[in-house]
Every structure is written in C-alpha cells, then in structure tokens.
C-alpha cells in the first residue's frame, strides 16, 4: 500500500465525520422502512393494477419487476428497457423499479416521453392517452434502456390542511384515483390523515372523556384541519358516529393501498390539543387556554382551544396512547409521524432550554409509542413566526431530538427557502417543498424557474442536508403544469430547460405541436408562471394597481404609453383565457 493511500485512509475517519454520521442515520432509517415494505410480488401486482386502471388495453405489453437498490447504485430508481423481441406473448416493455412507486413512475415516464401521453387530475384535463400506439407497436427505448435514479430518497405529498381544502368529501373511488396519481408522480411519502378522529375517540374515551364532550371538540368534516391544529373546536360539528366509523374504514383502505405500492405513509401524532373536559378529569394537569385565532365572533363555543403543556407527564401518556392505538388499528406500517405543536402558536417563553425540553417531551411521547419514530415537522413556523424563531430558538427545537429522528419540511422553499438562512436547518435533514397553493384557490400562476432549479441548487449546495422533495400545496387540482414539473424533480438530477420542457408539455397536453400554443406557453412562462413572490396576487394586482396609479397621476403621453401596456396585458389575458379553455378540454385538436 502506498504511503499516500495509507495517509488518506488514516484521515478518512476524521474528515467527513459529522456528515457521514448524518447520512448513516438516514440510511439506517431508509433500510428500516424498507423492511416494512410489502413483498415484491404484492408490489408488482399493485403496479400492474395501476396499469390496468390507467391503460387496460396494454396490460400484456408491460412486464414489471421489483429490483433491489444494488441494481441502481444503492439508490431508488426505475429502469425502462425493451422486452426480448423474440417473446411471443405480447410483452414489449420491461419496467424495473425499487418499489411499485418507482415502477409506476417509470411507466408514466415512458408513456410521457415515448408515447406523448399526459396524465393529470380530472379537473385539470384528466388522463389523455389517445396518442399511445396500439399493443404490438409500442416505441422501443434505446440500447440498454433508460435508468433513472432518485437524486434524493423522498418525494413527500400533502399539507395538513389539504384534507379540508380538497379531500373532505372524497370516497374510496376518488382516493384510489389520487393514490394512482401519486404513484405515477413518484410520491413515496404521503400524509395519511383520514380517520384520526375515530382513533382519538377511542384514546380519549380511555382517558374517561365522554362522547358528548368530544362533540364540542372535533370540528365538522370541512373544518377538521383547523380543529386538529387547535385553531378552533366544535365548528361545523358534531361528527356522527357513522362519519367517524366510515372515515376509519376509508383510512384502512388508503393505508393498505399505499403500502401495496411501497409508499411510507406519514401518520399524525399528539400535539397537545385536548378537549376542555380533560381539565376536570385531570385538575392538576397543566392545560392552558389559547387565545382567539381567526374564528367566529370570539365565541368560546368555537374559539380558544386547550393546550396540554408538553412538559406535563400526561402529555407523554396521551401521546403514547395515540401512537399505540394507531399501531393497533393499522399495524406496524410506518415510523414517520407528523407533529406541528407550534404552528401559529408560539411557546410561552423563548428560553432555548425550555424550547428544547418541550421538543424532547414531544419526541418522548412519540417514541414511547413507537421506539423508532421519526418526527416530521412542517417548517412553516420558521417563516410565519420568524420574529420568535431566531437562530437560538430554532436550534433548540431542531436539536431537541437525537439526530436523524426529525425531518423538517422546508414548506415554502419555492419562494422563501429557510434552508439557506438557517445553515440547512442547523444540520437537520429537510425536504425541499413547493407550497404554491394557498386556501385551495385556483388562480393560474406558479414559479417554474424556482421549481426547476431550487431542488438542484439545494441538493448540490455545500453541507446539504436535503433528503427529499415535496409538494405541500394547501389545495390541489389546479395549475397542472406546476405539479407535473415539481413531480419530475423527484427524478431529475439536473435543472430542467424550461422552454424546451414546455414545448414537450404542450405537445403532450394538446395532442400535437402547434407553434402558437408553444409561443403562448412561453409568454405564460415569463409572466404568470414567473410569479417570484410566490402568491397569486403578484402579477395581476400589481400591474393593475400600477395602471390605475399611472392613469390618475401622470400626464397624457404616459397614458398613451400605458394603453400600449394595457393592450399587451390584454393580449396575455386573452391567451390565458384561450389556453385555459384548451386546458380544460380533452384533446381539443384531435
Ligand atoms: C433476452 O433473451 C436473451 C436470450 O435468451 C437473454 O440473454 C437476455 O437477457 C434477454 N433480455 C431481457 C431484457 O430479458
Ligand atoms: C377512568 O375512570 C375509572 C373509573 O372511575 C378509573 O378507574 C380510571 O382510572 C380512570 N382512567 C383514567 C385514565 O383516569
Ligand atoms: C375575545 O374575548 C375575550 C374574553 O371575553 C377578550 O378578552 C378578547 O379581547 C376578545 N378578543 C377579540 C379579538 O375580540
Ligand atoms: C404550564 O404551561 C405553561 C404554558 O405552556 C407554562 O408557561 C408553565 O410554565 C407551565 N407550568 C408548569 C408548572 O409546568
Ligand atoms: C460546511 O461545514 C463545515 C464544517 O462544519 C463548515 O466549516 C463550513 O463553513 C460549512 N460550509 C457552508 C457553506 O455552510
């Protein structure tokens, strides 16, 4: 052995110590989650079933196979190749993947980029597969095929409020479609939040809370998200026993489908939000009443919920019981639990030692229910309440649990990334998320440049602690282009060249290449889809405000100039309207 090599080997243990122990903790978590995955044959059938629902005519054209990560250099991947030409049974394309999600993503990649198909939510154009050639004439891929690795292990999906803005009235049929959509887009870390009130009912009744007390605690179906977060209680309720039971049945269907597809569901955990009656049953428990949130008339029937302090021993008892009850109902399906105790609700003091003890208590409650639990936290507070969460407070919270036991969502990274200003969450693994949608509103807008480059910049940055990409919009079923691009970032190691990408997008979406449509998309890309402050008002409100101010304050020649600008905006507006008409019709050119 040369002296040089020896020298390098001696140095090795000291050099990247912190970052390698960091990635080891994540590797350990990933392999533990792998052991919970459904058997390869189950996942292969689940992927086949996605194909059957998407493209039943081609069921015999594809073969799916689960492979180990060794095939992909230790990462998750899909691998599209030609099936042996000599085969007589109709098989044409082989798709291998490390889980059924990768197989479905490979299928989606193939029908997009070889067959010109387009998959979207029903409300944003639906599934357009008329361009896929008949069985027997599917296009070949080159040589050894196409192997695409995930640059980061996770692709997260949902926001804690999506359940209220978008999913509230969904039945299994709609959920099944959504889970297919998730698999095709490569989502492997979705929230699974249905039915948690049914779990709470069982847990809290064990703590001697009556069903009647719970009527004033749970929110109604459309307001569950805010009742869960302790923003309000009782509003829109009470929930009938029938609703609770039916949601639990639905949750079990959702979970088993996610598991068959090889996803890791994220379950809820206890954040301290408790019914008023708990105060009477446990008079010595430290329960504080919160102030008025944006609720109704300051009426205490709806407002000002109760928070059990995380340092109270009862917190751990309830938190543990909640996790245990979920495991009892669903089995050992995950280690990842969401908890957002401090969302729009600051701790009583900014003393880092106290914040650290609160964080530790929250994690203790979780880990007593599931010893391997990992706390997934929305990083919204660091943005929305940045006055409180200064570096010492952030560090205290992020370092209150052992390394690798917390993953943060950089929730608004598309517009206001926290990873840059916080030294990558002070070493805590995080997921680069696109928030994009507020309140389920349906304006046409987005920040395509940030989506195509942000995750790449974050991943290759020095000392990166990024472990995933994600979509955590408040409401879904709008701006299909933004969601399609973001989903692709789960499989892209390099930035996307958007002008080119949008050409293929419009080709797939409208069924053929039309120069004017491509030109219109380029305008949209440089205007409403270049909305850099990340909220829909940026373009129209500012420009219209600007026009009004100019008209009233400036001399005539400026008004003439302004009119030219108005005409320009008018043209953009007309092209937007035209495009949205095209957008909502299936294959308008066919
Ligand atoms: C095709 O068949 C040949 C000969 O049987 C075999 O060596 C090769 O691995 C097969 N290819 C695939 C993609 O299955
Ligand atoms: C609930 O009430 C029963 C009967 O009064 C009592 O034995 C039990 O300890 C109580 N449970 C809790 C968790 O306080
Ligand atoms: C709500 O009511 C409480 C108590 O009645 C009062 O102290 C508080 O100022 C009220 N808040 C608002 C926003 O009206
Ligand atoms: C009770 O909780 C409040 C608010 O969470 C906290 O300020 C206070 O220190 C706690 N009291 C005790 C005795 O732990
Ligand atoms: C990366 O980490 C090293 C070691 O902790 C530190 O010295 C360096 O400043 C960090 N670089 C950046 C760009 O954060």
Nearest ligand, CA of residue 296? 3
Q: What is the mean pLDDT of the chain?
A: 88
What confidence tier does 12 reach under pLDDT thresholds 50, 70, 90?
A: very low
pLDDT at 84 over 90: no
HEC string for 252-303:
HHHHHHHHHCCCCCEEECCCCEECCHHHHHCCCCCEEECCCCCCCCCCCCCC
Which residues have a Cβ under 8 Å from the Cβ of 371 and sit 6 or more positions away? none
Answer yes or no: pTM beyond 0.85.
yes
Higher pLDDT pick, 89 / 5: 89
Find out whether 157 and 191 touch, Cβ atoms under 8 Å. yes
Stretch 194-216: mean pLDDT: 97
Sheet holding 62-66, edge to edge: 62-66, 93-97, 77-82, 146-149
Give dist(CA 180, CA 178) in Å, integer: 5
pLDDT at 575 over 70: no
Stretch 495-500: mean pLDDT: 98
Give dist(CA 230, CA 171) in Å, integer: 26
pLDDT at 447 over 70: yes
pLDDT tens sequence across 280-323: 999 999 999 888 887 778 899 999 999 999 989 999 999 999 99
- What pLDDT score was predicted for residue 349? 86
pLDDT tens sequence across 333-369: 999 999 998 776 777 789 999 999 989 999 999 999 9
How many CA atoms lie within 13 Å of 405's alpha carbon, on the beta-carbon side?
A: 17
Which residues have a Cβ under 8 Å from the Cβ of 381 and sit 6 or more positions away? 340, 342, 343, 344, 388, 389
Centroid of ligand 1 to alpha carbon of 140 (angstroms): 15
Give dist(CA 197, CA 256) in Å, integer: 19
Question: 147 - beta bridge partners?
Answer: 79
Mutate to test the pocket of ligand 1, among 71, 84, 145 (most ligand atoms within 8 A of CB): 84
Centroid of ligand 2 to alpha carbon of 286 (angstroms): 19
User: Which residue owns the Cα nearest ligand 4 atom 6?
Assistant: 348
Mutate to test the pocket of ligand 2, among 205, 208, 282, 315 (most ligand atoms within 8 A of CB): 208
Find out whether 70 and 149 touch, Cβ atoms under 8 Å. no
Measured in whole angstroms, the distance separating CA 307 from the mean position of its chain's CA atoms is 27
DSSP 8-state class, residue 134: P
Give dist(CA 202, CA 211) in Å, integer: 10
pLDDT at 63 over 90: yes
Give dist(CA 23, CA 155) in Å, integer: 17
What confidence tier does 561 reach under pLDDT thresholds 50, 70, 90?
A: low
Centroid of ligand 3 to alpha carbon of 275 (angstroms): 20
Find out whether 103 and 95 touch, Cβ atoms under 8 Å. yes
Give dist(CA 334, CA 514) in Å, integer: 47
C-alpha pair distances (Å), 9 with each of 182, 357, 406: 44, 40, 32
User: Which residue owns the Cα nearest ligand 3 atom 10?
Assistant: 298
Give dist(CA 415, CA 535) in Å, integer: 9
Which residues have a Cβ under 8 Å from the Cβ of 330 and sit 6 or more positions away? 251, 252, 255, 267
- What pLDDT score was predicted for residue 571? 61
pLDDT at 179 over 70: yes
What confidence tier does 163 reach under pLDDT thresholds 50, 70, 90?
A: very high
pLDDT at 440 over 80: yes
Question: Using a 6 Å CB cutoff, which residues line ligand 5?
Answer: 423, 462-463
Centroid of ligand 4 to alpha carbon of 312 (angstroms): 8
Task: Give yes or no for residue 346 CB within 6 A of ligand 4.
Answer: no
Q: φ, ψ for residue 136 (rounded to 5)?
A: 100, -20
Q: φ, ψ for residue 56 (rounded to 5)?
A: -60, -25
For residue 308, what is the enclosing H or E element?
strand 306-308
pLDDT tens sequence across 86-142: 666 789 999 999 999 999 999 999 999 999 999 999 999 999 999 999 999 999 999
Which residues have a Cβ under 8 Å from the Cβ of 402 and sit 6 or more positions away? none
């Amino acid at each position: 052995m040369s002296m040089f090599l020896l020298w390098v080997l001696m140095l090795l243990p000291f050099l990247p110590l912190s970052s390698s122990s960091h990635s080891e903790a994540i590797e350990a978590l990933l392999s533990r989650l792998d052991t919970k995955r459904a058997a390869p044959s189950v996942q292969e059938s689940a992927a086949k079933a996605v194909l059957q629902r998407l493209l039943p005519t081609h069921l015999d054209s594809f073969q799916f196979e689960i492979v180990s990560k060794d095939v992909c250099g230790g990462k998750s991947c899909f691998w599209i190749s030609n099936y042996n030409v000599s085969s007589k049974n109709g098989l044409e394309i082989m798709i291998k993947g490390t889980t059924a999600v990768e197989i479905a993503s490979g299928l989606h990649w193939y029908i997009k980029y070889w067959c010109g198909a387009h998959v979207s939510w029903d409300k944003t154009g639906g599934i357009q597969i008329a361009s896929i050639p008949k069985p027997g004439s599917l296009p070949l891929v080159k040589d050894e095929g196409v192997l695409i690795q995930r640059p980061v292990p996770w692709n997260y999906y949902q926001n804690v409020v999506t359940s209220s803005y978008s999913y509230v009235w969904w039945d299994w049929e709609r959920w099944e479609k959504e889970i297919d959509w998730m698999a095709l887009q490569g989502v492997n870390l979705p929230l699974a939040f249905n039915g948690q009130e049914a779990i709470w009912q069982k847990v809290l009744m064990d703590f001697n809370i009556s069903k009647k007390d719970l009527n004033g605690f749970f929110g109604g179906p459309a307001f569950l998200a805010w009742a869960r977060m302790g923003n309000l209680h009782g509003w829109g309720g009470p929930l009938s026993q029938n609703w609770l039971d039916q949601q639990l049945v639905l949750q079990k269907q959702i979970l088993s489908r996610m598991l068959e597809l090889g996803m890791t569901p994220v379950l809820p955990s206890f954040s301290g939000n408790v019914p008023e009656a708990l105060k009477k049953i446990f008079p010595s428990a430290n329960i504080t009443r919160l102030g008025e949130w944006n609720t109704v008339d300051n009426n205490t029937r709806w407002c000002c919920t109760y928070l059990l302090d995380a340092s109270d021993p009862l917190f751990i008892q309830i938190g543990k019981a909640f996790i245990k009850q979920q495991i009892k109902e669903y089995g050992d399906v995950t280690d990842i639990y969401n908890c957002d105790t401090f969302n729009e609700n600051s701790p009583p003091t900014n003393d880092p030692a106290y914040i650290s003890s609160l964080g530790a208590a929250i994690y203790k409650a979780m880990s007593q229910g599931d010893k391997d639990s990992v706390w997934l936290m929305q990083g919204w507070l660091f943005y929305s309440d940045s006055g409180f969460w200064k570096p010492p407070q952030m560090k205290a919270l992020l370092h209150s649990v052992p390394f690798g036991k917390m993953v943060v969502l950089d929730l608004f990274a598309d517009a206001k990334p926290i990873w840059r200003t916080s030294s990558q969450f002070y070493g805590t693994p995080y997921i680069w998320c696109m928030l994009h949608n507020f309140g389920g509103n349906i304006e046409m807008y987005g920040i395509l440049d940030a989506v195509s480059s942000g995750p790449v910049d974050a991943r290759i940055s020095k000392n990166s602690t990024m472990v995933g990409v994600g979509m955590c919009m408040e409401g879904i079923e709008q701006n299909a282009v933004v969601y399609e691009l973001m989903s692709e970032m789960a499989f892209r190691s390099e930035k996307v060249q958007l002008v080119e990408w949008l050409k293929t997008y419009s080709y797939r979406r409208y069924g053929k290449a039309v120069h004017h449509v491509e030109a219109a998309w380029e305008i949209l890309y440089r205007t409403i889809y270049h909305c850099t402050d990340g909220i829909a008002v940026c373009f129209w409100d500012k420009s219209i405000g600007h026009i009004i101010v100019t008209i009233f304050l400036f001399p005539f020649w400026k008004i003439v100039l302004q009119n030219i600008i108005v005409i320009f905006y008018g043209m953009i507006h007309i092209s937007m309207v035209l495009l949205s008409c095209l957008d909502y019709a299936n294959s308008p050119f066919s």
